[in-house]
Each structure stands twice: as structure tokens, then as C-alpha cells.
Amino acid sequence: MHRYHKSVVGILLVFMFLFIATTMAGTNAVVTEANLEPPTVCPEVPVLNYHKIDTMQIALSVAPEEFDKQMRYLSENGYHTVTPDQLFKALKKGIPLPDKPILITFDDGYEDNYVNAYPILKKYNFTATFFVITDFISHDPRFMTWDQVKEMAESGFTIGSHTVNHVPLTELNADQITTELTVSSQKLEQELGARPRYFAYPTGTYNDEIRHLVQKAGYKMAFTVRYGQADSDSNFYSIERIPIFRTQHTFRSFFIRVKAAPILERLGLIRN
Ligand SMILES: [Zn+2]
């Protein structure tokens, strides 16, 4: 009997030792990992980049029903659209973002953005950002009018600059670049009553000097077409985006790009 008790106590002791050992090993692993990782103040935020929302059979055009399907997917899967201001504050000051934040952007300012995308975005209670080419607005019928841009700005959508003429900035000298940056900013301020704080590079091209000029012109962040997500490692003047194009299987491509970006980024495959 005594002998039996002793072995039970022995077995219990072994179990207790194993339990404590595994718990401590677990704790150690967590502490070690935390020490290796940089402090994260901002979650990874996918920034989607669209151009046209219409039925033209070109890569830049996503059909309205496809766009609706993509927005429905985001809505049903708990994504919350954020503004560039929210992203900026999260990156700069660690101000928390809603769950599953996503920033939706459009480049160039095509008329279909107002006619097709805007009603769909409103239907899902989403917000978005439109980077417009100021000399094309109200001049070229393929692009929006100032009244349309104004209406979206007044509904809480963000309007950013995409320069005056859409010339790739790498083809211009410093004075010409500054003119593109400041004249588009002045025009937006004159039309909308507020200075634009966000900028998107025409054709996505930039270099260190251009980034500096964008900062000097008073913009807080600039967006590229470099594939990736915005996070604490992002440079404010070269924020990554996820371009969404029309393909043979637009929704599947959209889904893969939105879902795969965090994984590819964690693996270090889409930072360069
Ligand atoms: Zn563009």
C-alpha cells in the first residue's frame, strides 16, 4: 500500500515537472520572439489601387459589377475602410485603427469613379480616396468635373493630388516637379477649400529627391504602385499599394492579392 502511494506521488511529481517545464518553455519562446520583433505600432494596412470602374476591356478597367462584388466581399468579411488621415495617425502616433482596416484609392480621377464607383462605395458605407490630375478635371470629358469632385469631398471622401499633367516626375527637373506638386495643391485648395495632404506618383515613378520635394511641398504621405501593404516599416513618401486590375478572373485575382499580400510580405517577398 505504502509503496503504491509513493509511486502515485512520483508520477504526479513527474507530471507537475513536465507541466511547469512546458509552460516556462512557452513563456521563454514568446519573450524571445517579442524581443526580436520591432515594436509594432500600426497593423499592416492593405491599400487598394484602382483606376477605372467601367466595362472597357482594358487592364485599368474593373467592371462595376466586379467592383460591387469586391466591395461586398470586404464588407461581409469585416473590413473597415479608413482615410489616409487615419493611416497617417496610426503610422505616426500609433492611434488605433478599426479592425481589418483597408484603404481604397483611385488614381487619375476618371468620370466613372463618380458615376460607377461612388454609389457602390456609399452603398457599403465605405470611404475612399481619389487622386486627381487637376488640369484634366472639368477639361477632358473622360474625367470628373469639379462639381463631382466637390460632392465626394463634402461626403467625407478624400481628394489627393496626382499632379497637374500626369507627367512621370522622373522625367522632370526639380523646378518642374515642384510646380506639378504646388500648382495642383493650390488648385485643389481653391476648388475644395482645403489643401490636399496626400499625393500619388503618376505612373508610380519616384526617387529620393522626388520624395524630398513631395515632403517640402507640404504633403504628409505619398503613394506608389509598389506592391505591398502599409505598416510601421513603410516610408511616408513611398507607401505601398495593391493594384487591382481587370484580368480573365478579376475576382479571383482580387481575392488572391488581398489575401496573399500579408503572407508574401511576412515572407519578405514583396518589399523590394
Ligand atoms: Zn495615374
How far is the centre of ligand 1, averaged over its atoms, from the C-alpha of 86 (Å)?
23
How far is the centre of ligand 1, averaged over its atoms, from the C-alpha of 13 (Å)?
69
CA distance 79 to 73: 9
Whether residue 62 is found in the same domain as residue 132: yes
Q: Which three cell numbers stand for residue 269?
A: 517577398
Residue 213 pLDDT exceeds 70: yes
Whether residue 24 is found in the same domain as residue 149: no
Q: What is the pLDDT of residues 2-45, one digit of tens each?
A: 555 656 555 555 555 544 444 444 443 344 444 444 445 678 99
Q: Are 103 and 138 in contact (CB under 8 A)?
A: no
Provide the number of structural domains found in the chain: 2
Whether residue 24 is found in the same domain as residue 56: no
Give ∠ CA 103-43-35 in degrees, rounded to 5. 160
Average pLDDT over residues 217-245: 94
Residues measured by CB to lie within 5 Å of ligand 1, the ion = 107-108, 202
Q: Are 182 and 220 in contact (CB under 8 A)?
A: no
pLDDT at 39: 42
Q: Does the residue 272 lie in any domain? A: no
Whether residue 58 is found in the same domain as residue 10: no
Q: Does the residue 159 lie in any domain? A: yes
Q: What is the pLDDT of residues 216-227, one digit of tens each?
A: 999 999 999 998
Q: Does the residue 103 lie in any domain? A: yes
Whether residue 21 is found in the same domain as residue 90: no
How far is the centre of ligand 1, averaged over its atoms, from the C-alpha of 30 (Å)?
44
Three-state SS sequence of 105-137: EEEECEHHHHHHHHHHHHHCCCCCEEEECCCCC
Whether residue 10 is found in the same domain as residue 74: no
Residues 6+ positions from 229 with CB-CB distance below 8 Å: 44, 45, 46, 47, 240, 242, 261, 262, 265
Rg (CA), the chain: 24
How far is the centre of ligand 1, averaged over its atoms, from the C-alpha of 58 (Å)?
15
Whether residue 14 is found in the same domain as residue 129: no
Q: Which domain holds residue 29?
A: 1-37
CA distance 104 to 237: 18
